Amino acid sequence: MKFNPDCMRDILLYLEENLTLSPDLEIQFISVQDLSKNLPYPIQEIANMVLVLDDAEFIDASRFDAGNQICELLVLRITYSGYQLIESIRPQPVWKKIKSIGQNIGSFSTSVILQIASGVLTPMVSAFLKNP
């Protein structure tokens, strides 16, 4: 299965908007099925991306298997690193540049995405600081 950077971004932005804690501080998780109902990707692609984001420690997910089948896959929270990634890829103009550069160099790993984002954002911040 291929890494889909748009799916990754959409999942993170959806999670940021929809993950909550109850007044009793109970985690209100989001299931892969919930993500599938709200995002335009096949459930297999979403599940794979949730597993990748969990492996990379951008989110905390809980997985329950029966044999070789995933029975339940729940997202519990976004990690600090996940929030850093979200802030790096949130603005649509920045995301378009990241995708363009990634396509030109032929790489879309999360580490490359973060490196490209830094390269795109640094001159934008510098320009803003010169002309606030």
Question: Which CATH number do you get for residue 76?
Answer: 1.10.10.10
Residues 78 and 101 in one domain: no
Per-residue pLDDT tens digits for 22-66: 899 998 999 999 999 999 999 999 999 999 999 999 999 999 999
Residues 55 and 111 in one domain: no
Query: Which amino acid, one-letter code, is at 34?
Result: D
- Parent domain of 115: 90-130
26 SS3 class: coil
Listed in order, strand segments (DSSP E) in 19-119 are 20-21, 27-28, 30-31, 59-66, 69-78
Per-residue pLDDT tens digits for 67-102: 999 999 999 999 999 999 999 999 898 899 999 998
The label of the residue with tokens 């993500």 reads 35
Residues 63 and 110 in one domain: no
Residues 63 and 109 in one domain: no
Residues 72 and 99 in one domain: no
